[in-house]
Amino acid sequence: MDKKLRIDPHNVPNHVAVIMDGNGRWAKGKGMNRIFGHRNALTAVRDTIEAAAEIGTKAITLYAFSTENWNRPKAEVKALMALLINSLNNELKTFQENNVQVNAIGSIETLPENAKKTLHSVIDKTKDNKRIVLTLALSYGAREEIVNTIKNISKKVVNNELSIEEIDEKIINNHLYTFNLPDVDLMIRTSGEQRISNFLLWQMAYAELYFTDILWPDFRREHFYDAIIEYQNRERRFGKTSEQITTTKK
């Protein structure tokens, strides 16, 4: 049976976050350098976005480059930035044809000028697309995001634009990079590692976590469907009891 047919269209995660891990190990296993792994990960990216859009997911966020990744060898960082530019340019037509809106979060200002220019151009050209929002987390770190959020809210308190009593979850959400996105329902991480790695810490407070041993370059739409099926087989209680959830559904 086609795995896609096993998916309940009424219980699809609105927002899926993906930690695309394993490119280096995949390349090493083939006797190649890490960049070879990054280049061969694009099919996984394309398959995952298309699969998410097809089942009705409204937002998908990919952890493309973390704040810690700047510490990698300069040659690898340079190659990753070049790959980002080429991928955005090459995929723009596909984004338009599939009604994909491109978004980005993180310290975008730290990216090289040519990368920023290409990114902003693609974001602008896809801004009216409505099928799914693809968010690229670039130079992103959740702790940095939270620190920046606290600073911005504090400035408003100091400037009497906001009182301390007004600060609640909604205020905090509205000051995060992801202010225009729903909370994460499902987080997928490939390569067998079982960590969140400073990714969307606030937004994943109640997310279901799905870990797979598959290395990212080998990840395909059927693997994405596996994650969705697993998600749908779990009971999301949000602090309530099973009995309360059952009663609410009736």
Which one of the listed residues 33, 69, 98, 173 is annotated catalytic? 69
Binding residue per annotation — 216? no
25 is an annotated ligand-binding site residue: yes
Q: Which two tokens stand for residue 120?
A: 């902003």
Q: What does the angle CA 203 – CA 57 – CA 119 come to, to the nearest 5 degrees?
A: 70
Asked whether residue 185 is marked as a ligand-binding residue, the answer is: no
On whether 106 is known to bind a ligand per the annotation, the reply is no
Contact between 30 and 104 under an 8 Å Cβ cutoff? The reply is no
* Residue 21 is among the residues annotated as catalytic for this protein: yes
22 is in an annotated binding site: yes
Would you say 38 is a known binding-site residue? Answer: yes
- The whole-angstrom distance between residue 214's C-alpha and the CA centroid of its chain comes to 18
Yes or no: say if 13 and 186 are a contact pair by the CB < 8 Å rule: yes
Enter the tokens of residue 224: 């994405």
Report the C-alpha dihedral over residues 40, 44, 47, 52, rounded to 10 degrees: -150
Work out the burial of residue 69: count CB atoms within 10 Å of its CB; fewer than 13 is exposed, 13-18 middle, 19 or more buried.
Answer: middle
The verdict on whether residue 159 carries a ligand-binding annotation is no
- Does 189 belong to an annotated binding site? yes
66 is in an annotated binding site: yes
What positions carry a catalytic annotation? 21, 69
Query: Can you say which residues are annotated as belonging to the binding site?
Result: 21-26, 34, 38, 66-68, 70, 72, 189, 195-197, 208
Query: Can you say which residues are annotated as belonging to the binding site for Mg(2+)?
Result: 21, 208
Query: Can you say which residues are annotated as belonging to the binding site for substrate?
Result: 22-26, 34, 38, 66-68, 70, 72, 189, 195-197
